Structure 1
Amino acid sequence: MSPSISVIMPVLNEERHLREAVQQVLDQDYDGAIEVVLAVGPSRDRTQEVAEAIAAAEPRVSVVANPTGRTPNALNAALAMSSNPIVARVDGHAMLPKDYIRTAVETLQETGADNVGGIMAAEGITPFEQAVARAMTSKIGVGNAAFHVGGEGGPADTVYLGVFRREALERVGGYDEHFQRAQDWEMNHRIRETGGLVWFQPKMRVSYRPRPNARALGKQYFHYGRWRRVVARTHQGTINFRYLAPPLAVLGIVFGLALSPLFWPAVLIPALYLVAILAGALLTGRGLPTAALVRLPLVYATMHLSWGTGFLTSPPRLSKPRPAGTNLQDLFH
């Protein structure tokens, strides 16, 4: 018999997708017991009612409140409510393949890892979403992170979502509720710092729907950059050139545009960036419908410049230590 597993789901404004997402968890091809804990935030739609209806009809599902609406708080609340030795972190709109949990548990057992996860398989419907999906699976768009671009299985800095040994989560005190974004990267860093192994398993693919327009995409990547800077301040030595490339691009473009009235060759800096993303779009956009291909340069620029601006403008006040008593160990005692 396989070990029992707790699936924890932070849920906010997920009325449309929650029933299907939960059902795909309950229908997993897995012979161990599965419990699902929904941590529901203050939603603008009928998410609370849908979650309660699911729990009323299915004894394997329970609901816990997340008054803050923040993801790490939701994850810790659900962790405290759950009980099984294996814990899977799943989003309220994630569509899991039927062998997801079985593959994860087998990989945990084979590798001795503390956390295993797979690929964030971005899939778009509209032309803009298709362009974002292509950018999110391209090194030009997101660097060389395996959970975006794929690759061979093996040790990794971080993975998408994650299936954990509970003992590892308890060892590091759960999710750090200070991090409104980048909480998964930060959690995996602490697991690795305490001697644990994070493992990328490419067989684990979870469909992801990209943001539907440039404004939403820019906001998403601005906050990614802002909070990745907070992680860098908190954990020294966790930044490399892949993370510095977007803010350097922003600085170069601003410098070039500001200096060009006095020294015209400076305009070559933003011009070279424009040429680079146009060439990159042509290189990586092969096979896309024309409507998606013409949007790809805009998508690359939005991702790069929003992330870089967020990183550069991340205020030091975000790095203040969080109040004591907000980790998983405190919730269990």
Structure 2
Amino acid sequence: MVTTIDPARVAVLIPTLNEADQIEAVLSQIMHGDAVASRCTVIVADGGSSDDTCAIVTRLMRKHPNLHLRHNSQRIQAAAFNLLLTPEFDGIDFAIRCDAHAAYPQGYVSDLVHCMLEKEVDSVVVPMDAIADSESCFQSGLAWVADTPLGAGGSPHRGGNVSGYCDHGHHAAFRMSTFRKLDGYDVDFRTNEDAEYDKRLTDFGGSIWLNSDVRIKYFPRKTASRLWRQYFRYGEGRARTCRKHSIKPALRQMIPAVHTAVCLASLAVLPITPLLLLWPAIYALAMLSCGILIALKHRSICGLAASVALVTMHFAWGIGFLSRLMKKTPKSFFPQPAE
């Protein structure tokens, strides 16, 4: 088994947009104490931040010669990571994708490359564990429920504890030879670019390994409005992937869409019969009960925010999915930059 890693063949890329509060901590977590990350190419691809993100990275570049700042004119994450497809990075064999809204364990980069070499796979994905990083009561409630079946729908990369081959997960490491053959991410996707890439990868015969021993901490949204926008885009992105590849969504993805459609239909026929309000009433009671149970479990009134978070996630994703599914033209759908 190959154990020696040449840092010159590895690149880490971090897309950013107004991440002044997090970027220095993220870079420190990634590079400190990691024999590969401290010497490989580390790129911050900024989408036009209006805060001090670029100034912070520029200052850190004086301390870390392997750190670089690049401009991502398209602003979206897919375009940022596709910067590695340019001839400048032809010598890179392994690429690591990081997120400024997360916390990373020491040795993250080295562990991922070792895993990719050991398993001989095309991609390595990792679990995300949602935690609150502020005093936001809403964020705390959301973090407590985000990785549960009611939140993430039982997705194995959301709090999962079992390693193995999979069809999709949170993107962490890539074999660049395969990434180049597949022309990288589809930049028409502002969200769900990861799942869309994984679909092409598995159709190509590539392999994905979920490494549950290498975990990251994910900081969810702090307000219901930001969570709504996030999950509305997630629903749109999933519908777009389904349409592009003519595939059916998984059961856990169909549930919020069907639930949303039933609730909207119930409201539409309310003047005719109130009987169809039975399902929305049952759902509301279930969500309220869940919030109470979370509050009791964590001995915090913030647990009640879990109810609001769940309702927001379910309806935002469902409406986003249904609205995108009903559109006729699949192109030019995401004119605005991601948050």
> TM > 0.5 between the two?
yes
Cα deviation 1:197-242 (Å, max 9, x = unaligned): 1111111111111111111111110111011111110112251221
The correspondence for 2:330, drawn from 319, 329, 333, is 319
Q: Which moved more, 1:273-282 or 1:56-65?
A: 273-282
Aligned equivalent of 1:176, options 148, 172, 186: 186
* 8 A Cα contact 2:47 2:72, kept in partner: yes
Aligned to 1:14: 19
- Measured on the aligned residues, the alpha-carbon RMSD in Å equals 2.1
Q: Tell me if structure 2 keeps the 8 A contact 1:9–1:78.
A: no
Distance of 2:18 and 2:84 partners within structure 1: 17
Is the Cα–Cα contact under 8 Å of residues 176 and 187 in structure 1 kept in the other structure?
A: yes
Task: Pick closer, same or farther for the CA change 1:136–1:28 going to 2, 3 Å.
Answer: farther
Please state whether the residue corresponding to 1:294 is helix, strand or coil. Answer: helix
Does the CA-based 8 Å contact 1:250-1:309 persist in structure 2? Answer: yes
Moved segments of 4+, more than 6 Å: none
CA deviations on 1:125-176 (whole Å, 9 max, x unpaired) are 4321111112211011111211113131011222213111111111211111
Shift of the alpha carbon at 1:288?
Answer: 2.1
Q: Which runs of 5+ in 2 are unaligned?
A: 334-339
Match of 2:25, SS state, is: helix
Give the unaligned 5+ runs of structure 1: 323-333
Alpha-carbon spacing, 1:317–1:262, altered in 2? closer, same or farther (3 Å):
closer
Partner of 1:118: 126
SS at match of 1:39: strand
Assess if the C-alpha contact under 8 Å between 1:7 and 1:35 holds in 2: yes
Q: Tell me how far apart the structure 2 counterparts of residues 77 and 56 of structure 1 sit (CA, whole Å).
A: 23
Q: Distance in 2 between matches of 1:170 and 1:3?
A: 20
Return the offset for 1:9.
1.1
Q: What is the match of residue 311 of structure 2?
A: 301
Q: SS where residue 70 of structure 2 aligns?
A: strand
Distance 1:204 1:238 in 2: 30
Q: Which moved more, 1:232-241 or 1:190-199?
A: 232-241
The 5-angstrom pairing of residues 133-212 of structure 1 reads 133-212=143-222
Distance 1:302 1:29 in 2: 39
Q: TM-score, normalised by structure 1?
A: 0.90
The answer to whether the 8 Å contact 1:127/1:289 transfers is no
Contact 1:247 1:307 in 2 (8 A): yes
Q: How many residues align?
A: 322
- Farther-moved stretch of structure 1 (98-107 vs 266-275): 98-107
Report SS of the residue matched to 1:163.
strand
Question: Is the Cα contact below 8 Å between 2:128 and 2:216 reproduced in 1?
Answer: yes
The alignment status of 1:25 with 2:30, answered yes or no, reads yes
C-alpha separation in 1, matches of 2:30 and 2:328: 39
The residue number in structure 2 matching 1:108 is 116
Deviation (angstroms), 1:321: 8.2
User: What's the CA shift for 1:276?
Assistant: 2.6
- Residue 62 of structure 1 deviates from its aligned partner by 1.4
Contact 2:295 2:304 in 1 (8 A): no
Distance (Å, rounded) in 2 between the aligned partners of 1:264 and 1:238: 32
For 1:95 and 1:294, the matched residues in 2 are separated by 26
Residue 17 of structure 1 aligns with an amino acid whose one-letter code is Q
Q: CA offsets, 1:80-137, max 9 Å, x none?
A: 3544211000113432100322321222122211111211111014321111112211
Q: Residue 55 in 1 paired to residue 61 in 2?
A: yes
Question: What TM-score, normalized to structure 2?
Answer: 0.88
Q: Which moved more, 1:30-39 or 1:102-111?
A: 30-39
Q: Aligned partners of 1:284, 1:112: CA distance in 2, in Å?
A: 41
